[in-house]
A and B are shown apart, each in its own frame.
Chain A
Amino acid sequence: METKPMRYIPNAEQDVREMLETIGVDSIDRLFDSLPKDVKLDRFLDVPGPWSEIEIRRSLTTMGFRNVRVDDKPSFLGGGVYMHHQPACIDQMLLRGEWLTAYTPYQPEVSQGTLQSIFEYQTHQSLLTGLDVANASLYDGSTAFVEGVLLAQRVAAKKNKVLVAKSIHPMYRETLRTYVQNLGLEIVEIGMAADGRVDLAAMKAACDERTFGIAIQSPNFFGVLEDYDAVREIADAAKAAKIAVVAEASSFGIVSPPGAHGFDIAVGEGQAWGIPMSFGGPYVGFMVVRDELKRHMPGRLVGETIDVDGKKAYVLTLATREQHIRRAKATSNICTNQALIALAANMYLSLLGRAGLREVASQCLQKAAYLKSKLAATGKVEFPFSGPVYNEFTIRTKRPARELLAALAGEGILGGVALDTWYPDRPNDYIAAVTEMNSAADIDRYAAAIAKAL
């Protein structure tokens, strides 16, 4: 079987001939002599291609058109993934080959760009969460949550029980169960009180001397902001670590962060920092901890140092925590992370900065309040939870949520996410999210469509 030159593979027949001569074999096939004959394929793989760019565009564009895009219509979908604006310059910068086509900065002398950017990203994370030390990134919010729980367990010696609010994102909790299924952890889920916040009485009752950590999400999956101080008091009584999950990271602009309330570990999803929704990824998981926990952290950390000439420089550090050194005893198995998305987040946070992060959060908060008031004015909806919200909240009507949302979709409105998938006892409840992308006109249209559908 002879193969032909291709656009991504420069060496053509003359190069190949010269190289084979240098190597001292007469054909490329001879280089594969170490493979057993009976496992070698005597055919090409049966897959489509090779295709030109024209054919690829035709095929994938057609596939893309079979999706309903959400950016050109009123969308109130949230549930852990939010449509925020990404300033145009960010994607342009990400496409620079120096960012896109570099690898993990193992060789700091030729990777200062990536290293300094991670150092800046770590700084943003610390400022936003009010905690001391951030790592270079984790896969996403769900796995960051898992790593946060595992970190809390590592430092707690023999304790093995973790209290997890049932209002933490359902997929995050599923991921936790998958990861720890063989690690002997006991996960106790704590339900919601009438205000939609975690049930503090149940939490207090479940928190004992075996409890190494308490995890809550704020805003939680129903959109309600938790009372960090009340949770801290319960955890402190049992010397349990306090873990905060944040799945809507734009909230840091206006909501007091976990670090300001004595929490030990903040983990979550950075998608809200203008990262495209892209059907679920790639996003960026973040983790920020109190200083005393830094040597137990998973993943990469970048630190400042100097070179032999005394010049300031950045380098991967505290690597003895990591798998390539510690192997089976590493704090995590993570190697490849989400560096390019962390870079996008660094650019986003830098562009918006002190005032812009405040403004985007303020717009989300105000517009959500506006939607809530417009819906209330229809007289046809209830809000099952009374607790304070940021940009997402739970709605109940007399119609099953799936049916109502389908009716709204018929009007060209993506009205929200039904909750019965994860909470079967809530067939008529759904959550709706509002961001700076939703205009007053969108919101008015939504309220009118609700009034009509009910």
Chain B
Amino acid sequence: MSEKTNTETAAAPKSTSFHNTAEELIFERSRTGRKGYQFPELDVKEEMLESLLPGSLLREDIEGETEVSEVDVIRHFTRLSKLNMSIDSGLYPLGSCTMKHNPRINEAMARREGFAYSHPLQPEHQVQGSLELIWQLEQTMMEIFGMPRVTLQPVAGAHGELTGILMVRKALAKQGNARKVILIPDSAHGTNPASAAFAGYTTKELKSNSHGTLDLDLLEREVTEDVAALMLTVPNTLGVFEGQIVKIADILHRKGAFLYCDGANLNAFVGVARPGDMGIDVIHSNLHKTFSTPHGGGGPGAGPVGVAKSLVPFLPAPTIERRDDGTFYQDFNRPDSIGRVRAWNGNFGVLVRALTYMRSMGGEGMRRMAEIAVLNANYIRARLKNAYHLPYSDPSLHEVVFDDKNQLVNDVHTLDIAKRLMDFGFHPPTIYFPLIVPGALMIEPTESEPKEELDAFCDAMLAIAREAAETPELVKSAPHTTPVRRLDEARAARQPILKWTPKA
């Protein structure tokens, strides 16, 4: 840290511990002749390459590839890792992402040899353990959703959305009319319209009412014979529960349309209420959000989809079934299935982690998880509501959305507040989303945070609000203590450099 930044950030109560020296690319660490691996000597008779591969398909060299030792690799990736913020180091309150603690027993279980060294094309009797795990997870998710079947094939939330909408389409097509339109509130995640488009639908945006929720009169008008489904996030991206959910389902069902639930925010009500009991026909859940599998810098995830009885025939094939004798098998004989949405059986390793977590929590723990997640978010809301403007004052559950209205008078924007939080040692919340809130700051603490961490975060937010009034330049030029400061993002897009190039 330079002298200059030290004085500038004297107000920050918490220092960051980044490795502040730039780390060169692994390709730049390369030195001729170094190696980071050893294989056994080739123990079979070596044939001439030319006798095995035609000349036009023989590769001579991979020019530019690395020559590094194991020490080089470990140092490099350790140093790089220190440039990241993570849940393990503190609150990571990205709204809609549910950045909760990732228990390490999950990791240990996914690495059990029986699971890690199980090949997906082994004969059925050799993989009974893997099939049972998938079956048990499905049973557990059926109870969580209150629905008769769940597919575990989709590997991400968006993948689950596509799977769900494809099922809706196939069900409608089977009735004789696949219909044309998916309705989506203006507060929805961007994946919703994108997934609907890939299922062959056009999308129509529904404007939210003054509470940020769905306008039922509008919905009544918009649900025509052309509408296949409504994709609704519950609770919505403001953290507000759609209190009229049962009525919403009824409006759709009367017109033969389906209610799709984006379950990204399931953490708000797991064990408190069940989607299936509300009239929801199809829902995806993100196991990497609600069920604690690690986000890993952006994946892998899993996006299981639960369906009501009317959609069961259309589930992706194969399904995993149990025979009367207690053995398990894959059922490929599903004539109405939408087909496979991916090779193999989903992100199996993620499924092991999620089941481990569900067993750790049990029914009581899952409810506790929702309760404390909602408590923590409301605590932040209570502590910050006098300093930050709350665009919607309706009760919220697991997340709270503020905006920058109070700070704009000093020309301090949401982006500045987010960047300044980094100097206090916190990852920023989700910003500028949902789109219905200009300058949104969407905060989701999850149940993982102890009160003192929430207090430290609120203290930082309050300090930033004061700075915005007293020393706005300090906020607008933040961050000051991070490994790099604000980036020239326009330059990255204008003259894209998307890989390292060997020096000529």
Which of A173-181, A186-194, A207-215, A233-241 interfaces with chain B?
A: A173-181
Those of A306-338 within 8 Å (CB) of chain B? 306-309, 311-313, 315, 317-320, 322-330, 332-338
Cβ of A281 and Cβ of B344 under 8 Å apart?
A: yes
- What are 16 A-B residue pairs whose CB atoms fall within 8 Å in the complex? A9-B372, A19-B376, A28-B371, A41-B273, A44-B362, A98-B89, A116-B25, A132-B499, A134-B499, A140-B343, A252-B62, A309-B485, A324-B189, A335-B157, A349-B66, A354-B64
Contact with A along B466-485 (1 / 0, CB 8 A): 00000000000001001111
The residue from A255, A305, A414 contacting B491, defined by CB atoms under 8 A apart: A305
A449 sits at the interface (CB 8 A): no
C-alpha gap A329/B59 in the complex (Å): 40
With contact pairs A140-B342, A350-B68 given, residues A101 and B87 touching in the complex (Cβ less than 8 Å): yes
Contacts of A301 in B (CB 8 A): 496, 498
B13 within 8 A of A: no
- The answer on a CB contact under 8 Å between B374 and A281 is no
The answer to whether A23 and B86 have CB atoms under 8 Å apart is no
A100 in the interface (beta carbon within 8 A): yes
In the complex, chain B residues whose CB is within 8 Å of the CB of A359? 37, 39
Q: Which of A1-25 contact B (CB under 8 A)?
A: 1, 3-11, 15-16, 18-20, 22-24
Asked whether A11 lies within 8 Å of B376 as measured between CB atoms, the reply is yes
**Known A4-B364, A31-B375, A70-B117; contact A329-B112, beta-carbon cutoff 8 A:** no
Contact B81 A113 (CB under 8 A): yes
B162 within 8 A of A: yes
A48 with B119, Cβ < 8 A, contacts A10-B449, A11-B372 known: no
The smallest C-beta distance from A14 to any residue of chain B, in angstroms, reads: 9
CA distance A20 to B379 in the complex (A): 8
In order of increasing CB-CB distance, the 4 nearest A-B pairs are A49-B362, A280-B344, A182-B200, A64-B114
Question: What residues on A are CB-neighbors of B81 within 8 Å?
Answer: 93, 96, 98-99, 113
Q: Smallest distance from the beta carbon of B330 to chain A beta carbons, Å?
A: 11
CA A37 to CA B257, docked complex, whole Å = 25
What is the bound-complex CA distance between A60 and B113, given in angstroms? Answer: 11
CB distance from A336 to the nearest CB of B (A): 4
| A151 is an interface residue with CB less than 8 A from chain B | no
**What distance in Å separates the Cβ of A422 from its nearest Cβ neighbour in chain B?**
11
Q: Are the C-beta atoms of A53 and B105 separated by less than 8 Å?
A: yes
Q: Are the CB atoms of B500 and A110 closer together than 8 Å?
A: no
Judging by beta carbons under 8 Å apart, are A327 and B364 in contact?
A: no
- Within 294-330 of B, Cβ neighbours of A (below 8 Å) are at 294-301, 303, 316
A174 touches B479 (CB 8 A): no
Q: A21 CB to closest chain B CB, in angstroms?
A: 10
- Render B78-117 as a binary contact track against A, CB cut-off 8 A, 1 for contact: 1011111111110010100101111111011111111111
Q: Are A50 and B36 in contact (CB under 8 A)?
A: no
- Chain A neighbourhood of B85, CB < 8 A: 102, 107, 110-111
**CB-defined contacts of A334 to chain B, threshold 8 Å:** 156, 158-159
Q: Least Cβ distance of B74 to chain A in Å?
A: 6
Which of A159-167, A377-385, A436-444 sits within the interface?
A436-444
Q: Return the CB mask of B432-443 against A: 1 if under 8 Å, else 0.
A: 010000000000
Question: Chain B residues with Cβ under 8 A from A273's Cβ?
Answer: none
Question: A358: which B residues are within 8 A, CB to CB?
Answer: 61-62
Looking at the assembled complex, report how far the CB atom of B276 sits from the nearest CB atom of chain A, in whole angstroms. 10
B46 sits at the interface (CB 8 A): yes
B487 CB contact (under 8 Å) in A70, A305, A405:
A305
Are A40 and B39 also in contact (CB < 8 A) when A6-B361, A281-B345, A317-B493 are? no
- Contact mask for chain A residues 60-78; partner B; CB cutoff 8 A; 1 contact, 0 none: 1101111111111001010
* Residue A296 CB within 8 A of the other chain: no
The number of inter-chain residue pairs (CB within 8 angstroms) is 702
A109 to B484, alpha carbons, bound, how many Å?
A: 5
Residues of B within 8 A of A34 (CB): 240-241, 243, 394-395, 397
Q: What is the chain B residue whose CB lies nearest that of A302? A: B498
Scoring B residues 385 to 413 as 1 if CB is less than 8 Å from chain A, else 0, what string do you get?
00000000011010000000000000000
Q: How far, in whole Å, are A423 and B449 apart by their CA atoms in the complex?
A: 54
Q: Taking the nearest CB of chain A, how far is it from the CB of B82, in angstroms? A: 6
How many residues of chain A have a CB within 8 Å of chain B? Answer: 208
Q: Is B197 an interface residue (CB 8 A)?
A: yes
Chain A residues, CB < 8 A from B43: 439-441
Judge whether B212 is part of the interface by a CB distance below 8 angstroms: no
**With A9-B372, A44-B364 as given contacts, are A128 and B62 in contact (CB-CB < 8 Å)?**
yes
Chain A residues whose C-beta falls within 8 Å of the C-beta of B299 in the assembled complex:
137, 282, 336-341
Interface residues of B in 341-388 (CB under 8 A from A): 341-350, 352, 355-356, 358-369, 371-372, 374-376, 378-379, 381-383
Q: Report if B14 contacts A (CB, 8 A).
A: no
- The closest CB in chain A to the CB of B499 belongs to A123
A411 at the interface (CB under 8 A from B): no
Across the interface, do B156 and A324 meet the contact criterion of CB distance under 8 Å? no
- Closest-by-CB residue of B relative to A52 is B360
Q: Which of the residues B195, B347, B422, B497 comes within 8 Å of A281, measured between beta carbons? A: B347
Q: How many angstroms between the C-alpha atoms of A36 and B273 in the bound complex?
A: 9
**Bound-state Cα–Cα, A300 to B158, Å:** 14
Interface pair B451/A102, CB less than 8 Å apart = no
Taking a contact as CB atoms under 8 Å apart, the answer to whether B73 and A350 are in contact is: yes
Shortest Cβ distance from B178 into A: residue? A182
**Contact across chains for A280 and B112 when beta carbons are under 8 A apart:** no
B274 at the binding interface (Cβ < 8 Å): yes
Per-residue CB contact flags for chain A residues 355-376 toward chain B (1 = under 8 Å, else 0) read: 1111110110111011000000
Whether A141 contacts B343 by the Cβ 8 Å rule is yes
Which residue of chain B lies nearest to A368 when distances are taken between CB atoms in the complex?
B52
Contacts of A280 in B (CB 8 A): 120, 343-346, 348
CB pair B129–A67 under 8 Å, yes or no, is yes
Within 8 Å CB of A270, what residues of B? Answer: none
Q: Given A3-B365, A114-B298, A120-B500, 10 other A-B contacts at CB below 8 A?
A: A66-B114, A71-B113, A140-B155, A172-B343, A228-B57, A277-B119, A327-B194, A346-B26, A351-B68, A358-B61
A33 within 8 A of B: yes
A276 engages B116 (CB within 8 Å): yes
The answer to whether A201 has its CB under 8 Å from any CB of chain B is no
By a CB distance below 8 angstroms, the chain B residues around A101 are 86-88, 92, 99, 102, 294-295
Contact of A98 with B194 in the complex, beta carbons under 8 Å: no
- Given contacts A44-B271, A139-B156, whether A63 and B364 have CB atoms under 8 Å apart is no
Contact B271 A97 (CB under 8 A): no
Is B53 interfacial (CB 8 A cutoff)? yes
Q: Does B45 contact A (CB under 8 A)?
A: yes
| B222 in contact (CB, < 8 A) | no
A345 at the interface (CB under 8 A from B): no
Q: Which of the residues B47, B316, B482 comes within 8 Å of A369, measured between beta carbons?
A: B47
Q: Which residues of A contact B339 (CB under 8 A)?
A: 174-175, 177-178, 181
By a CB distance below 8 angstroms, the chain A residues around B419 are: 109
Which of A99, A132, A171, A311 is in CB contact (< 8 Å) with B340?
Answer: A171
- B82 and A109 contacting across the interface, CB-CB below 8 Å: no
| Nearest CB of chain A from residue B348's CB, rounded to whole Å | 4
Given A34-B395, A277-B116, CB of A28 within 8 Å of CB of B198 = no
Interface residues of B in 102-151 (CB under 8 A from A): 102-105, 107-123, 126-130, 132-133, 140, 143-144
Contact assessment for A110 and B84 in the assembled complex, using a CB-CB cutoff below 8 Å? yes
Task: Report B444 CB to chain A, min CB distance, Å.
Answer: 12
Interface status of A409 (Cβ within 8 A of chain B): yes
Chain A residues lying within 8 Å of B199, measured Cβ to Cβ, are 182
Instruction: Report the minimum CB–CB distance from A182 to chain B (whole Å).
Output: 3
Give chain A residues whose Cβ lies under 8 Å from the Cβ of B295. Answer: 101-104, 336
Task: Check if A70 sits within 8 Å of B118, measured CB to CB.
Answer: yes
